[in-house]
Amino acid sequence: MQIDILTVLPGLFSGPFDHSILKRAKEKSLLTINLHNLRDYTNYKHGQVDDYQFGGGAGMVMMPEPLANAIEKLSATTKYDDIIYMSPDGQHLDQKTANHLSLKQNLLIICGHYKGIDERIREHFVTREISIGDYVLSGGELPAAVLVDTVARLIPGVLNDETSALFDSFQDNLLAPPVYTRPANFRGWQVPGELISGDPKIVEEWRHNESVKRTMQRRPDLLNNQEE
Rounded least distance, CB 78 to ligand SAH, Å? 21
Considering the rule CB under 6 A, would residue 128 count as an interface residue with ligand SAH? no
Name residues whose C-beta falls within 8 Å of residue 100's C-beta, 6 or more positions apart in sequence: none
Q: State which residue has the least CB distance to ligand SAH.
A: 112
Judged by CB under 6 A, which stretch of 64-72, 83-91, 148-156, 173-181 contacts ligand SAH? Answer: 83-91
Buried/exposed code over 87-126 (b: 16+ C-beta within 10 A; e: otherwise) = bbebeebebebbeebbeeebbbbbbbbbebbbeebbeebb
Before 200, cis peptide (omega within 30)? no
Considering the rule CB under 6 A, would residue 135 count as an interface residue with ligand SAH? yes
* 3 state DSSP class of 157: coil
Task: Between 143 and 177, name the residue whose CB sits nearer to ligand SAH.
Answer: 143
Distance CA 153, CA 29 (A): 13
- Chosen residue from 37, 60, 128, 139 binding ligand SAH by CB under 6 A: 139
Degrees, nearest 5: CA angle 58-61-65: 155
Task: Between 1 and 12, name the residue whose CB sits nearer to ligand SAH.
Answer: 12
Distance CA 49, CA 60 (A): 10
Considering the rule CB under 6 A, would residue 91 count as an interface residue with ligand SAH? no
Considering the rule CB under 6 A, would residue 64 count as an interface residue with ligand SAH? no
Judged by CB under 6 A, which stretch of 69-77, 135-143, 162-170, 171-179 contacts ligand SAH? Answer: 135-143
Considering the rule CB under 6 A, would residue 115 count as an interface residue with ligand SAH? yes
* 3 state DSSP class of 99: helix
- Picking from 26, 44, 33, 30, the residue whose alpha carbon sits closest to that of residue 7 is 33
Judged by CB under 6 A, which stretch of 24-32, 125-133, 167-175, 217-225 contacts ligand SAH? Answer: 125-133
Distance CA 145, CA 180 (A): 29
Judged by CB under 6 A, which stretch of 20-28, 85-93, 95-103, 168-176 contacts ligand SAH? Answer: 85-93
Considering the rule CB under 6 A, would residue 12 count as an interface residue with ligand SAH? no
Judge residue 84's burial from the number of C-beta atoms within 10 Å of its C-beta, 0-12 exposed, 13-18 middle, 19 or more buried: buried
Site string for ligand SAH, 143-182 (x = CB under 6 A): x---------------------------------------
Q: Which residues would be at the binding site for ligand SAH (CB under 6 A)?
A: 86-89, 111-113, 115-116, 131-133, 135-137, 139-140, 143
